[in-house]
Amino acid sequence: MGERFLAKIIESLSSPLQAEISDTWLGLTPGWTEYFGLTISVHHGTTTEPLGLVGFEVAFRNACEAVGWTVDEPGSATQRFVDMTVQTNEETERKLSLKSTAALRLSATTAHISKLTEAAWIQDVRSARTRRDQTLELFRQYREAVDSIIMLRAFRPDRTSLPTKYQLLEIPTDIFTSLEDAPLETFAADGPTIDCTHQGDLAAARVALDRSDAKITVKQIKLSACTLHAEWRTASVGGLSDT
């Protein structure tokens, strides 16, 4: 049984994914995207299940360590909203929030974060002014704590098939800066949705206060406002087929 398992892993490593790498701080680092792509290959050597958030966090951390970057210990992040702090060889420190999704029918032009963060106060607030003040304070803290959001998206035709593509995006937290200028009336509803202006786009993303689940959702994040680090095509990896 062990030999069969090992054979699947070896087979997955012998057929590297087709990768499209961008000229970004991750893409331009020799070995980072290769290591991350191999992790996806090994993962799908034994399963068709998408690489989930926990696996993504481990893979991201391991890829950073493999290229000699300094990463805080797992579970050591004490600052709210931050999942990982990475210091590159250029001594640039990046405080990151990591997200992943394998939802069906992912858009080719926009991204969606179902839960940016919890916000229990959403269910208690009744006035537009208090709702605005609480929202602005939360996003001030978020922008102060987090430099950017790194998101892994797994595209799949249905819930039983192998993902055909993985996409690694970076969403800048300054996309939320324009919330400071949102008029009071946009916070009038119990669960308002507020457009975010970014680099000339009047609706680069939409922030929604989800009252039923007491969370912040970010909808319709335009990929044109994000950084695309890499894409990996995964059809027929390690003997597993997406058909």
- pLDDT tens-place string over residues 10-45: 555 556 678 999 999 999 998 999 999 999 988 887
Does any domain span residue 243? no
Does any domain span residue 36? yes
Does any domain span residue 87? yes
> Residue 166 pLDDT > 60, yes or no?
yes
Question: How much of the chain, in percent, has pLDDT values that exceed 70?
Answer: 88
Does any domain span residue 217? yes
The total of structural domains in the chain comes to 1
What's the CA gap between 104 and 109, in Å, rounded?
15
Domain range holding 195?
Answer: 2-233
Q: Are 72 and 93 in contact (CB under 8 A)?
A: no
58's CB contacts (< 8 A; 6+ apart) are none
Does any domain span residue 242? no
Q: Is 220 left (phi over 0), alpha (psi -120 to 50) or beta?
A: left
Q: What is the mean pLDDT of residues 200-206?
A: 97
Structure tokens, 30: 């020799």
Q: Which residue has the higher pLDDT, 75 or 188?
A: 188
Q: What is the mean pLDDT of residues 47-56?
A: 93
Does any domain span residue 240? no
Structure tokens, 23: 């000229």
Q: Which residue has the tokens 């990475």?
A: 86
Does any domain span residue 239? no
> Residue 151 pLDDT > 90, yes or no?
yes
What's the CA gap between 117 and 215, in Å, rounded?
6
Residues forming beta bridges with residue 150, ordered by sequence position:
98, 170
pLDDT class of 239 with cuts at 50, 70, 90: very low
21's CB contacts (< 8 A; 6+ apart) are 27, 33, 229, 230
Q: What is the mean pLDDT of residues 101-112?
A: 97
pLDDT class of 52 with cuts at 50, 70, 90: very high
pTM equals 0.89
Does any domain span residue 6? yes
pLDDT class of 3 with cuts at 50, 70, 90: low
Question: How much of the chain, in percent, has pLDDT values that exceed 90?
Answer: 78
pLDDT class of 93 with cuts at 50, 70, 90: very high
